[in-house]
Structure 1
Amino acid sequence: MRSFTLITALILCCINWISVSVSETQTVEVQLGQEVTLLCPNISKHRTQTEWFRLVKRTEVSCVSSMRWSDGKVSFCDGFQNRFEMSSNITTVFLKIKRVDFSDSGLYFCGFYIYAHTVISNTIHVNVQGNGESCSEVDFKTEETPDGITNLMTVVLGGLTVFLTIVIIVLAVEIRKLQTAVNEEPQTERNKNLGSDDLNYAALSFQSKAKRKRRPPSERELEPNVVYAATR
């Protein structure tokens, strides 16, 4: 029962952690041609690889850059070599975008490679604003992107919650079966011991009754004397 409680607590903590991570989406507005620096808190307790990603048009995910924590070497993916800079300190990872363009609009993810998995630490929505008709078009696209991402994350989180609930139910049934089996074994042993004790008691009772039918030695010794007196 203790193991079941511990597993349930861990699963609920994971669900709460995912909910908090999804809800922490920041929006950064920047003018066309300016530069912007994105900040990501370091959630890893050990030195590990850090990566930046960008999501555009709800489905297009592209790698921006990655940095090895051991030597601080930064490598950029295709199309991000010139206007992007990545740096870090003990607590924060930075991504600087110089001379921002409309194509830089999108949702940026910061991830850490922890236990053979990339864990997303922070999400930042970059909204590039400008003058003219292109500004309204970009605003329309960037307003649609967060709504789509929010809906997608909500669906994923709901599915994960249902899956974990099923896992909890299955674990509860298995633990109940194990507890029932463990409780039945001592009861069977007690029944066997009780049956053997009854047999021993019956044997002892039978022997005691048999002994009671035998006459005392004093009566057997007195019989010859009585017969002898009568003959005289």
Structure 2
Amino acid sequence: MRSFTLISALLLCSLTSESHTVEVQSGGDVTLMCSNISSTPTLTEWFRVINRTKPSCVFSMYGSDSKPSFCDGFQNGFEMSSNISTVFLKIKRVDLSDSGLYFCGFYIEGHTVIASATHLKVQDSNSVICLVEESDGMTNFLIVILGVLTVFLTIVVIVLAVKIRKLQTVCDSEYSDLQDLGSDELNYAALNFQAKPKRSRRPASERELEPHVVYAATR
């Protein structure tokens, strides 16, 4: 029966995809639960699988009124209990070695039936502190970077505003000079384009007789 149970546990570890995860910090206590699927008293066992390759029996008990017993290799630190609807496994002062996949097995009518599984993750309290400190350090670094970028962008905006103001002043000055110069050139052109007076020819009768010229009349 034990060999068949271990084979069933190995199959569960390789095929199960419905296990839920429980996270706890090292040094604390945790209680795992699975549903009691047997309607009559039967042999119930808690199993643990480490790295999905090595299933091990942790506790076993018959029915909910009997005294649970440790399996080989396990000692104090685990407590098993059961009632009509739920089977419990309490682990005291957990450490990193307690991480793994836990599940219940019920021996019903000559077959081992596997109940729901729980993936226990034990976090080292020191590593949690380090992660918090690292996160705080990264946050402070990002704040400094954002402050530097803000100051830099502010300086760039001020410099551009000053340059635009100077260019606008120069353009206004040149435009005013062009307006004055254009007015003078127009006046000069008006003077140059004035029509020249035409010389009028006097009739021959009104011309004065030139001196020292002999006039003769012939028929």
TM-score for the superposition, normalised by structure 1: 0.47
TM-score for the superposition, normalised by structure 2: 0.49
From the CA coordinates, give the structure whose radius of gyration is larger: 2
Q: Larger % of helix: which?
A: 1
